[in-house]
Structure 1
Amino acid sequence: MIQPEKERLYLDYAATWPMRPEVWEAMGAELRHGFNPASAHAPGRRAHRCLEVARGRIADLLGCPRSSVCFTGGGTQSDNLAILGFVRSHAGHAEHPGRPGRSPRVFVSEIEHKACLEAADRGAVEGARVARIPVDGSGTVDLAWLRRELATDPDAPTLISVMWANNEIGTVQAMGDIVELGHEYGALVHTDAVQALGKVDCDLERTPVDLLSATAHKLGGPVGIGLLYRRPGVTLEPLSYGGGQERSMWPGTQNPIGATGFAAALALALEGREAEVARWTALRDHLEARIRAEIPDARIHGGDAPLRMPNLVSAGIPGCDSGAVLVSLDFEGIAVSGGSACGSDSSVGSDVLDAIGITSDLPYAAVRFSFGHETSRADIDAAADALARVAARVVALTA
């Protein structure tokens, strides 16, 4: 007899936010009109209107000109366009890499998403001078270090790329201070806001970043659609060629249905955000208190950061194997992750945990809980109970 599938508890919203019904409805209304928006005929013109309505709606929600919103295929592509687009737009400065002040500089924090770290590494191959901004034990970037480095070559074209909210441990950076410092030295500031948008106050007027990357599926929207906000006047070199779409910044056939879903998801995320953030914060604090009570030697990664994501908890459990804990929780019907879903192989380790000094305990399990609009206090208690059971079992097997 086939047993019914156990009802699962989903606590991995930081990996992908399940698509919200209102987004399905908004996209469904356009599905039968999914033509190429570059076509000149009537169906193409309708698809183009759909795309531009979504762009305008997103621009209004972000508080920026619609011309500043460039659609991409996701957050990774947006990060790459920001960083490599900057490096390549200043390629003329890299003709004499050994001469101070000639080649562009790129600063990325030690705890960036690999989309930014590896794009910066590629920029170094292409002649940019790349440095990683250190962080303290909470994952907060060292602004004093950054100031000293900026002052060494203030006339060089410079990009600072710091993620607004970390995807693994939830540390939120003081982006206003970073922007102020960067602009003091004439640097452009890019932020990966993939996790932050909709959960943190990403006001572009109060925090005037020059470039911002985001994606829809972290907001309850569809996968395969992202955006790069580009402040008017900022010049980037495209990464691909062959069409004039997205003002030639991201050429190729556009995705009006995905853009419609992105706009709907962003509107839902911003509607009542303050009340939801307060609810999430209470759930986060309750989960952390339960973990500390049930597993006294557990660590809360980034728990002492001045600013934190309201809906993310990263717990470290000495004496446990990450893979064993994650698989056991999955068998218990609870979906969580060990960190970034883009690097979920538990045998590889975590650059983020290394950067904050979590390197001495082996074995060591890192478990990331992240929650959303459907998560209840009862869900949090169920997760804490399961983690306590699993940790005790795995420690006993490891001993």
Structure 2
Amino acid sequence: MSTLKMKNMRSEPERLYLDYAATWPMRPEVWEAMGTELRHGFNPASAHAPGRMAHRSLEVARGRIGELLGCARSSIYFTGGGTQSDNLAILGFVRSQSGPGARVFVSEIEHKACLEAADRGEIEGARAFRIPVDRGGTIDLEWLRRELEADPAAPTLISVMWANNEIGTVQAMDDIVALGHEVGALVHTDAVQAMGKVDVDLERTPVDLLSATAHKLGGPVGIGLLYRRPGVTLEPLSYGGGQERSMWPGTQNPVGATGFATALELALRHRETQVARWTALRDHLEARLLAEIPEARIHGGEAPLRLPNLVNVGIPGCDSGAVLVSLDFEGIAASGGSACGSDSSVGSEVLDAIGVPGDAPYAAVRFSFGDETSFADIDRAADALGRVAARVVALTV
């Protein structure tokens, strides 16, 4: 359903969706493109005419995505989502190394798909390192340089999220790639949140591996991709078929691939215009929140580069769960951070890494917006959070 402001037949408030960073509702054009493919949704591995038709759709989608990202079609591998792509990049690298001593560097604020893959890689014989970040979530490049130069002969993978999904920090990927390649390291980036909001061009920023997923762009859930630069060796994580050139075996998804390509095309077509509008919305929301709640903190606000459509605000003296439930009662869909770690009792490694104290009640609320979000929506969210925070603080104290 693409309508994001929905009137309930009961006397509930009109719903306002401000959780695009979790899932971007499917665009109408994506529904239409996928519907056309569903009429002949056959197995693309089949040799008969219907199978060849499905295979052609898959390869057309692959080619469209490659063109949009600035890479060859043959460098794009479809997976089941961003987490699977991250795992394939990191563990595929670790398992491709024949001897001990491989190193994997991940930042402290990576998605769990990368952090836990690096931890698993360590169990399997690699050495895993976490790159420290500053208060704004930007990685310490000098620390990384020193560590890389300490053992320049070791096979090395650097995995850094292009744009953070919780606080919106955008890393200087050009500098990270240049540093990694200077010492012979491979560079992987989780570009799930960056795609469509940041200028991701693989010719200009020649990462070796890149992960993305469709549902963060207004495409379908259940399909992601891994870009692999020619010459980079990975070991598959599963076996049993030759699909995706044996890198991700299993029945392929031409319908999802078509939806992915369509969503990416639409996201990039109006990106520059939307980025300017989102930045104005973001800045307006932050100003309103700080006016409503003077003790609040904008997480990642110190970073020189940030996503234009994401605000993560911290409120001392509040319980995150109570705030989010109260906002939901007011008809506003927001989140406490990553949808993959939505249990507020667990806390956030990202907030820990940027120095947010974890020993007192503290709410973190993430608002993220899309094409249909207006200034009126932003004002409604700020007003609601101001009221909710005052109530929850009173109850907490």
Deviations 1:195-216 (A, max 9, x none): 0011001111111100000000
Separation (CA, whole Å) in 2 of partners of 1:256 and 1:206: 29
Q: Tell me what 1:247 maps to.
A: 245
Mapping of residues 38-77 of structure 1, within 5 Å: 38-77=45-84
Aligned AA (2:170): V
Aligned AA (1:64): C
* Aligned: 1:9 with 2:16: yes
Deviations 1:35-89 (A, max 9, x none): 1100011111111011001001101111100000000000000000000000000
Deviations 1:296-348 (A, max 9, x none): 00000000101000000000000110000000000000000000000000010
The answer on whether the counterparts of 1:245 and 1:253 sit within 8 Å (CA) in structure 2 is yes
How much is the aligned-residue C-alpha RMSD, in angstroms? 0.8
Q: CA deviation at 1:7?
A: 2.1
The SS at the match of 1:33 is coil
Separation (CA, whole Å) in 1 of partners of 2:230 and 2:99: 22
Q: Which runs of 5+ in 2 are unaligned?
A: 1-8
Separation (CA, whole Å) in 2 of partners of 1:369 and 1:36: 40
TM-score (norm 2): 0.97
Mapping of residues 27-106 of structure 1, within 5 Å: 27-90=34-97, 92-94=98-100, 103-106=101-104
Aligned AA (1:250): W
The SS at the match of 1:275 is helix
Q: Tell me what 1:325 maps to.
A: 323
Mapping of residues 101-180 of structure 1, within 5 Å: 103-180=101-178
Structure 1 residues 246 and 26: CA distance shift in structure 2, 3 A: same
Separation (CA, whole Å) in 2 of partners of 1:235 and 1:187: 13
* Aligned: 1:303 with 2:310: no
Aligned AA (1:42): A
Separation (CA, whole Å) in 2 of partners of 1:166 and 1:367: 15
Q: Tell me what 1:98 maps to.
A: none
The answer on whether the counterparts of 1:318 and 1:364 sit within 8 Å (CA) in structure 2 is yes
The answer on whether the counterparts of 2:12 and 2:331 sit within 8 Å (CA) in structure 1 is no
Separation (CA, whole Å) in 2 of partners of 1:380 and 1:362: 28
Separation (CA, whole Å) in 1 of partners of 2:165 and 2:135: 16
Q: Tell me what 2:262 maps to.
A: 264
The SS at the match of 1:214 is strand
Aligned AA (1:321): D
Aligned AA (2:99): H
* Aligned: 1:18 with 2:36: no
Q: Tell me what 1:273 maps to.
A: 271
Deviations 1:118-158 (A, max 9, x none): 00000000000110000011000000000000001101100
The SS at the match of 1:30 is helix
Deviates more, 1:10-19 or 1:29-38: 29-38
Deviations 1:96-125 (A, max 9, x none): xxxxxxx11000000000000000000000
Separation (CA, whole Å) in 2 of partners of 1:264 and 1:4: 37
1:348 to 346, 349, 366: 346
Aligned AA (2:256): G
Aligned residues: 389
Separation (CA, whole Å) in 2 of partners of 1:238 and 1:353: 33
Q: Tell me what 2:361 maps to.
A: 363
Separation (CA, whole Å) in 2 of partners of 1:253 and 1:4: 46
Separation (CA, whole Å) in 2 of partners of 1:330 and 1:31: 35
The SS at the match of 1:167 is coil
The SS at the match of 1:93 is coil
Q: Tell me what 2:5 maps to.
A: none
Q: Tell me what 2:290 maps to.
A: 292
Separation (CA, whole Å) in 2 of partners of 1:36 and 1:157: 38
How many percent of aligned residue pairs carry the same amino acid? Answer: 85
Q: Which runs of 5+ in 1 are unaligned?
A: 95-102
Separation (CA, whole Å) in 2 of partners of 1:300 and 1:127: 39
The SS at the match of 1:29 is helix
Separation (CA, whole Å) in 2 of partners of 1:272 and 1:309: 16
Q: Tell me what 2:6 maps to.
A: none
The SS at the match of 2:39 is helix
Aligned AA (1:17): W
The answer on whether the counterparts of 1:167 and 1:339 sit within 8 Å (CA) in structure 2 is yes
Q: CA deviation at 1:93?
A: 1.5
The SS at the match of 1:306 is coil
Aligned AA (1:314): N
Structure 1 residues 296 and 86: CA distance shift in structure 2, 3 A: same
Aligned AA (2:333): A
Q: Tell me what 2:219 maps to.
A: 221
Separation (CA, whole Å) in 2 of partners of 1:303 and 1:105: 31
Separation (CA, whole Å) in 2 of partners of 1:236 and 1:381: 48
Q: CA deviation at 1:389?
A: 0.5
The answer on whether the counterparts of 1:198 and 1:270 sit within 8 Å (CA) in structure 2 is yes
Q: CA deviation at 1:381?
A: 0.4
The SS at the match of 2:232 is coil
